[in-house]
Amino acid sequence: MGVRDEIGFLTIHQRYADRFFPGTSVLHTRARYILFVPWLFEDLAGLTGPAAMRAMRERERELAGRLKDAGESQVIGGRVFPQPSSQPPSTVYWNALAVWGILRRRLDGRTISRAQAHRLLKSAGTAMDDDGQPLVSFDPPFVPLPKRPENWRSGHISLQLTTEEATFLRERLGQLRSNGGHEASLLARLVRTETVAPDGMWATETREIAGPDKSALARAHQAAHLAGVGRAVYDALLERIVETDDKRETSTRHRDHLTAVVEDHGSLAVKLDVGALEADIGALPTKLRAVLTTTKDWVASKSQNPAPLFDVYAAAEARKGPRARLAVTPHGRARRLEWSSDEHGLAGPLHYRWEQVSMLLNDLAGAQ
């Protein structure tokens, strides 16, 4: 699930997630896709341009169908099969391939594009070695990969990693640094344990593994809860303006939820040192910083009324222009007409891609 970003909390979510879990994405599902993608590219060596794009689209569509037939869960494109996915594995995992050191970078340090990868593989043609593996010429886009399963091209295939594949991925992931620094990232430290994922991102086991990131992890926890309160404040303010300014009947669902969110998350949220957070992940946009500090002060005041926060929240949302819902303008009113209190999901804390990280760790631990 993605992160709602009316006010800008996605900035915090992305920066901490990139620090702790480089290369990950909310669109990631199962670990074996990180190998499926380069295998598919190498299979199509010899094709470039539109022909390569069409062939890749069809191979990814076929793969989704085979995995779905095998009863696998978290299949990318499984829900729309037999139609091709609009976000296929080669799109979803391309950045991870680069960050995790499986896709080689260009001489200037930039990431090789998918079109460039096809061109780099062209000289290899369709020649195969004695083991049925494609022969890749000098300067291939991908590092040497584990061997493909025997049923790679047809028949039953699963998302179950082999031991060889898991070892390959651990070697790559275990080297990941935090924000390009010298210290191992939290993801690298978790991978090195060679065990299933801890019970949660804030579990004692995770904190003990975090090493030099332990303090940053604690601040990320506080920020997650403060952002959860902030998202609930936004929803409550929106519900209120629909009722008071637009003169439309609406439930008190989100205003009631705000009370519960403050009760559940407020005590941790008020502990956040915003300056220390910026030392962790860089300076925040001015209006987002104002939202954090004023929301923190509001929670500490024990107020039950979020109305005093309206101006700072409206100012932060104004970056969205005519799409801003809190704006006291015709555009704002039109956007609010599209919004339904009962259909809008209830706010919660940031998750920093922990669900995807947990699945990755569990897939590695479950290799056979």
Tens digit of each residue's pLDDT, the chain (368 residues): 344 688 999 999 999 999 999 999 999 999 999 999 999 999 999 899 999 999 999 999 999 999 999 999 999 999 999 999 999 999 999 999 999 999 998 888 889 899 999 988 886 544 454 565 654 445 789 999 999 999 999 889 999 999 999 999 999 999 999 876 789 999 999 999 999 999 999 999 999 999 999 999 999 999 999 999 999 999 999 999 999 999 999 999 999 999 999 999 999 999 999 999 999 999 999 999 999 999 999 999 999 999 999 999 999 999 999 999 999 999 999 999 999 988 899 999 999 999 999 999 999 999 99
Cα–Cα dist 78/56, whole Å: 16
Output the six-digit token pair for 43.
């299979």
pLDDT for 269 equals 98
pLDDT at 2: 42
Both 327 and 255 in one domain: the answer is yes
Q: Indicate whether 21 belongs to any domain.
A: no
254 belongs to a structural domain: yes
- What pLDDT shows up at residue 180? 66
Q: What is the pLDDT of residue 124?
A: 52
Residue 298 lies in a domain: yes
Which domain covers residue 91, as residue numbers?
Answer: 32-157
Please tell me whether residues 255 and 151 are part of one structural domain. no
Is 86 a domain residue? yes
Does residue 224 form part of some domain? yes
Same domain, 36 and 113: yes
How many domains, in total, are found in the chain? 2
Contact 195, 32 (CB under 8 A): no
Contact residues for 104 (Cβ-Cβ < 8 A; gap 6+): 112, 139, 140, 141, 142, 143
Question: What's the pLDDT score for residue 145?
Answer: 97
Q: Is 184 helix (H, G, I), strand (E, B) or coil?
A: strand
What single string gives the DSSP state of each residue in 218-282? HHHHHHHHHHHHHHHHHHHHHHHHHHHTS-----SHHHHHHHHHHHHHHHHHTT--HHHHHHHH-
- Give the DSSP letter of residue 70: T
User: Residue 110 gets which letter from DSSP?
Assistant: P
Instruction: Give the integer Cα–Cα distance in Å for 136 and 127.
Output: 8
pLDDT for residue 181: 76
Strand partners of residue 105:
111
What integer pLDDT is reported at residue 130 of this predicted model?
53
- For 209-264, the pLDDT digits (tens) are 999 999 999 999 999 999 999 999 999 999 999 999 999 999 999 999 999 999 99
Residue 35: partners with Cβ closer than 8 Å, 6 or more residues away: 145, 146, 165, 168, 169
Residue-level pLDDT at 37: 98
Residue 220 lies in a domain: yes
B/e letters for 149-162, b = 16+ CB within 10 Å, e = fewer, are beeeeeeebebbbe
Are residues 308 and 298 in contact, defined by beta-carbon separation less than 8 angstroms?
yes
Say yes or no: 153 and 36 in one domain.
yes
